[in-house]
Amino acid sequence: MRDFSGDHSALALNTATLGHNLDGFGAGWSPEQVIDGCAARGYGGVVFWRREIGSNATAIGQRAKAAGLKVAGLCRSPFLVGPLAPNGREAVLDDVRSSIDMTAALEAPILTIVVGGVEPGTKGMSESLKIVADRVAAACEFAERAGVRLALEPLNPVYGGDRSCLVTVRDAVNLCEVIAADNLGIAVDVYHVWWDTDLANQLQRAGAGRIYGFHLCDWLADTKDVLLDRGMMGDGVADIRGIRGAVEAAGYEGLCEVEIFSKDNWWKREPGEVLDVLVDRFRSVC
Amino acid sequence: MRDFSGDHSALALNTATLGHNLDGFGAGWSPEQVIDGCAARGYGGVVFWRREIGSNATAIGQRAKAAGLKVAGLCRSPFLVGPLAPNGREAVLDDVRSSIDMTAALEAPILTIVVGGVEPGTKGMSESLKIVADRVAAACEFAERAGVRLALEPLNPVYGGDRSCLVTVRDAVNLCEVIAADNLGIAVDVYHVWWDTDLANQLQRAGAGRIYGFHLCDWLADTKDVLLDRGMMGDGVADIRGIRGAVEAAGYEGLCEVEIFSKDNWWKREPGEVLDVLVDRFRSVC
């Protein structure tokens, strides 16, 4: 392993970057191996996906803490609306409650919410966003009781049809204002917002109190697959330093979480190598 | 052919919808066949691509006019910036001049501008948009002398890397305001803007005098290919009626131009069938 003795304590790993060991990609590191690998390299935190945790949330959370890592959050809620959501409001909220409970058991502060796409039978974003507002408001109540905060993550507009009718920081801040819950904020991901020339203004609107997460990767100029061809920081065209600057100028002081879905490149590499490259790129281009 | 005796005189065909006869897709109708097919069905206009016109611009323009069709515009300028643009400012502007000359020879009022992606060696949109502003300003002067107007078309943010650093109507109106040329406006395409909850506000900012084109298609919820899997109106999740309403509320009175890139569906069909379906869908869902 390379020597990364300087400070990169703001760096967190989202485990998707290693290829989701349950998906047949990546080298299949367990959560325990991920914790050890990140701790050994001086990472500040780690973010898991629900599928990796199973019924071991408490033990995994404690192990991370003992290793000196923050569990910065959990990915993610079910889709709340749209063609890929559980069938009906109660089924959605039941699964939201499960994900909130898992977040609490991990002792993670944040559950990421990906809201889902356009509700079948409707057109455009507005009807779906109304349904989202209702369901997020209910989720905020459960989360409040569990001591968990919810981070609305707007996705790139390319996912507007099936994965997220929430596609801008502007709309996410609007939702926060409408719902007005003390435990509701936003997550800002370079992949989803890099194109938005109004981003800095919207982050100022959000303010420090509402920015709960900041996710790093890069947008490759010739992206081959909008789901699974994200770039390593520095390999694409996003102004990562500018975006980080805008996020921090708005008052964000949390971790920088690397989340790279990369089926044909990074997911094929040895996890330890990927963790080394992340540290290197975090220090050189972020 | 079906009887479409009612009024759909606002409907225009962008020839890309028939599969670009020079690309090996579609049934290979010539511009003359396209003109005859649209005229026979009562279309109001047609929009060609440069590659279809060659050196026959004057004759094709006259034939369309004689058939009762407006040549509503020409697709399109070269990319002005980014990895796919001609090499250097002079090469870009030479090709822009050629496309303006072809537009004038067709007696079409509008040349569509697709600005190109992020300039190599830069990050984010801002540097590239500055280069775009310089080149569009120069293009407006040539176009003025040729009696042609230029329509800046913002593309969906998914194309931000290589095809268009201009990804919102907001930014397009900003460019119009900065350049402040009387012959510069915008084109609004459902595929590119359907997700934008701020669209109606931005169209009001643009106003009637600056909306030069309105393009129809649909966004399929489970889009398979972001370049060549556009949907027929009614088959997707875009609020087409709402968008058309917002465009017309801002004062637009021009044609509605259908532009559907659909390699695995509509481009495989007989052109006459496609033209019939367009009329039907235009009347029923737009």
pLDDT for residue A221: 97
Q: Is A202 in CB contact (< 8 Å) with chain B? A: no
B82, B126, B226: residue with CB nearest A158: B226
Report the length, in residues, of chain A.
286
Place of tokens 């020879």: B105
Mean pLDDT of A165-194: 98
Please give the Cα distance from B154 to B176 (Å, whole number).
12
Using pLDDT thresholds of 50, 70 and 90, give the confidence band for residue A208.
Answer: confident
Q: Is B118 in CB contact (< 8 Å) with chain A? A: yes
Q: Is B249 in CB contact (< 8 Å) with chain A? A: no
Using pLDDT thresholds of 50, 70 and 90, give the confidence band for residue A1.
Answer: low
Q: Do B157 and A160 touch (CB under 8 A)?
A: no
pLDDT digits (tens, 9 = 90+) for B81-107: 999 999 999 999 999 999 999 999 999
Mean pLDDT of B243-272: 96
pLDDT for residue B28: 78
**Two structure tokens written together for B83:** 């990895």
- B19-30 burial, b at 16+ Cβ within 10 Å, e below that, comes to bbbeeebbbebe
Question: Residue A149, Cβ neighbours under 10 Å: how many?
Answer: 22
**Two structure tokens written together for A231:** 């770039």
State yes or no: pLDDT of B2 exceeds 90.
no
State yes or no: pLDDT of A23 exceeds 80.
no
Smallest CA-to-CA distance from A281 within A15, A16, A17 is with: A17
Q: B-chain residues within 8 Å CB-CB of A123? A: 237-242
Q: Is A222 in CB contact (< 8 Å) with chain B? A: yes
**Two structure tokens written together for B121:** 């060696």
Q: Do B226 and A226 touch (CB under 8 A)?
A: yes
Using pLDDT thresholds of 50, 70 and 90, give the confidence band for residue A27.
Answer: low
State yes or no: pLDDT of A5 exceeds 60.
no
- Best mutation site among A218, A229, A237 for testing chain B: the one with the most B CBs within 10 Å? A237
Q: Is B171 in CB contact (< 8 Å) with chain A? A: yes
Smallest CA-to-CA distance from B132 within B98, B163, B100, B101 is with: B163
Q: Which CATH superfamily is domain A11-285 in?
A: Divalent-metal-dependent TIM barrel enzymes (3.20.20.150)
State yes or no: pLDDT of A53 exceeds 80.
yes
Q: Is B129 in CB contact (< 8 Å) with chain A? A: yes
State yes or no: pLDDT of A242 exceeds 70.
yes
Q: Is A91 in CB contact (< 8 Å) with chain B? A: no
Mean pLDDT of A236-257: 98
pLDDT for residue A20: 73
pLDDT digits (tens, 9 = 90+) for B18-67: 987 655 655 679 999 999 999 999 999 999 999 999 999 999 999 999 99
Tell me how close the Cα of A29 comes to any Cα of chain B, in angstroms: 31
Three-state DSSP string of chain B = CCCCCCCCCCEEEEHHHHCCCCCCCCCCCCHHHHHHHHHHCCCCEEEEEHHHHCCCHHHHHHHHHHCCCEEEEEECCCCCCCCCCCCCHHHHHHHHHHHHHHHHHCCCCEEEECCECCCCCCCCCHHHHHHHHHHHHHHHHHHHHHCCEEEECCCCHHHCCCCECCCCHHHHHHHHHHHCCCCEEEEEEHHHHCCCCCHHHHHHHHCHHHEEEEEECECCCCCCCCCCECECCCCCCCCHHHHHHHHHHCCCCCCEEECCCECCCHHHCCHHHHHHHHHHHHHHHC
Q: Where are the domains of chain B?
A: 11-285
Q: Do B239 and A123 touch (CB under 8 A)?
A: yes
Average pLDDT, rounded, for chain B: 95
The single-letter code of the amino acid at A279 is V
Q: Do B223 and A161 touch (CB under 8 A)?
A: yes
Q: Do B197 and A161 touch (CB under 8 A)?
A: no
Percentage of chain A modeled with pLDDT above 90: 93
Contact assessment for residue B173 and residue B202, using Cβ atoms and an 8 Å cutoff: yes
Please name the residues in contact with B76: beta carbons below 8 A apart, sequence gap of 6 or more.
Answer: B49, B50, B99, B111, B112, B113, B114, B153
C-alpha distance from residue B19 to each of B45, B122, B181, B230 (Å): 18, 34, 34, 12
pLDDT digits (tens, 9 = 90+) for A91-139: 999 999 999 999 999 999 999 999 999 999 999 999 999 999 999 999 9
Please give the Cα distance from A85 to B263 (Å, whole number).
29
Q: Is A171 in CB contact (< 8 Å) with chain B? A: yes
pLDDT for residue A3: 59
State yes or no: pLDDT of A22 exceeds 70.
no
Q: B-chain residues within 8 Å CB-CB of A171? A: 197
Percentage of chain B modeled with pLDDT above 90: 93
A123, A236, A241: residue with CB nearest B238: A123
Q: Is A161 in CB contact (< 8 Å) with chain B? A: yes
Mean pLDDT of A219-226: 94
